[in-house]
Structure 1
Amino acid sequence: MRIVMLGAPGAGKGTQAQRMVSHFGIPQISTGEIFRENLKRNTPLGREIKEFMEKGELVPDDIVLKIVEERLSHGDCAKGFVLDGFPRTLGQAKAFDGDVDVSCVINLSVDDKVLLERLAGRRTCRNCSAVHHISVLKDRKVCPLCGGELFTRQDDAEATITNRMKVYYKNTHPLIEYYRKKGKLIDVNSAQPPQAVFEEIKERIAEL
């Protein structure tokens, strides 16, 4: 099962990808997580992508494709994978189609107002990298999992969120029609509670 996750920032791609990992027994490939790990370790790649991420801009296609191709070459991807955060442009999608036959594309749709509320309320742990929302936190400064310090990521700051949305509608939103024409798109309403979203995803995949 080779799955691609689509949706605006805050639509819940990472959350649903993690559930599919547990259910289908395939790895989650998150370009954002790979980027953040390299930023944390201050690797050459991390330094290269830092200026793009901090401004909410997309990392150039050639860099992203190189990262994804390297990760998919690992043995744990032999039976499939869930791609979270890739492809983000038509150029990436077309280049990827030349190498991989995607099983389906899950598009998580939700109103912009809900997205903004979700993103602005996100807090990330400096220690374990877990992401939480202020709506369920007893203490907005302490991670409930490990006790680490919670902070607002640069790409979750209000100004950056606005720019990320603009970038999404310009570059990534066209992928919806691209995959729809290919007969690979599955539209799912992600304004529902996470478990309800996942149940719908499972039902739709079972129909393939």
Structure 2
Amino acid sequence: MRIIIFGPPGAGKGTQAKLISDEYNIPHLSTGEIFRSAIKNETPLGKEVKSILDTGDLVPDEKVVGLVEEELKKEKYEDGYVLDGFPRTVPQAKAFDKILKEKNKSLDAFLQLQVPEEELIDRILSRGEGRSDDTPEKIKNRLNVYWEETQPVLNYYQEQDVVRKVEGVGSIEEIFRRIKKALED
């Protein structure tokens, strides 16, 4: 099963992706986790990404696509995965389609977590990750970047008829039950 979990910052993608990974025994690939690890370890990629993220902007498409493509070559992804934080732009989505086509695979589901903006801001401020961009102003910028640059990805996948909308408000368990139902439908 190949799944994309999609939604704005603070929607709960990482939390739900881990549950999906456990439930369906598929690996969870989070571009954010890869970037955070690189930043923490002060790798060249980490230093470059940190300066981009500190402004609240998105990492360039080529860099993200290359990273994901390289990661997906690993054997553990052969039988499926849940992608979290990728694709974030239409060019990334098109590049991902090309990766799938080359492997003769297809996307099974695009799960869109729907959460009101006020809830997103509250969640991000309360999660206490201590990210340099977790201030109300930078969060609003990240959400604006999301709506402008990332929302078109939803439209792109709606044309492929793989989008499953999931209400992302409630307990973690309630949201996960909705996700399982969406995947079974």
Separation in 2 of the partners of 1:71 and 1:99? 12
Q: Share of identical aligned residues, percent? A: 42
**Alignment match, 1:117:** 122
Pairwise CA RMSD of aligned residues?
Answer: 0.9
| Contact 1:28-1:84 at 8 Å conserved across structures | yes
- Partner of 2:10, secondary structure, is coil
- Count of matched residue pairs: 180
**Alignment match, 1:189:** 167
Separation in 2 of the partners of 1:74 and 1:95? 18
| Contact 1:122-1:156 at 8 Å conserved across structures | no
| Contact 2:111-2:165 at 8 Å conserved across structures | yes
Note the C-alpha offset of 1:171. 0.6
Q: Which moved more, 1:62-71 or 1:156-165?
A: 156-165
Amino acid aligned to 2:108: S
Deviations 1:160-206 (A, max 9, x none): 21110010001111111211111010000001211111111111111
| Contact 2:69-2:99 at 8 Å conserved across structures | no
Amino acid aligned to 1:114: E
| Contact 1:5-1:83 at 8 Å conserved across structures | yes
Deviations 1:47-73 (A, max 9, x none): 121111111100000100111011111
- Partner of 2:59, secondary structure, is coil
| 5+ residue gaps, structure 2 | 101-105
Question: Does residue 1:85 correspond to 2:85, yes or no?
Answer: yes
**Alignment match, 2:70:** 70
- Partner of 2:107, secondary structure, is coil
Instruction: Give the TM-score normalised by the residue count of structure 2.
Output: 0.94
Q: How does 1:152-171 map to 2 (within 5 A)?
A: 152-171=130-149
- Which structure has greater helix proportion? 2
Separation in 2 of the partners of 1:87 and 1:93? 5
Which of structure 1's runs of 4+ aligned residues deviate more than 4 A? none
Rg larger for: 1
**Alignment match, 2:42:** 42
Separation in 1 of the partners of 2:170 and 2:42? 37
Separation in 2 of the partners of 1:7 and 1:185? 12
- Partner of 1:196, secondary structure, is helix
| Contact 1:11-1:108 at 8 Å conserved across structures | yes
Separation in 1 of the partners of 2:169 and 2:56? 23
Note the C-alpha offset of 1:23. 0.2
Instruction: Give the TM-score normalised by the residue count of structure 1.
Output: 0.84
Note the C-alpha offset of 1:155. 2.4
| 5+ residue gaps, structure 1 | 125-151
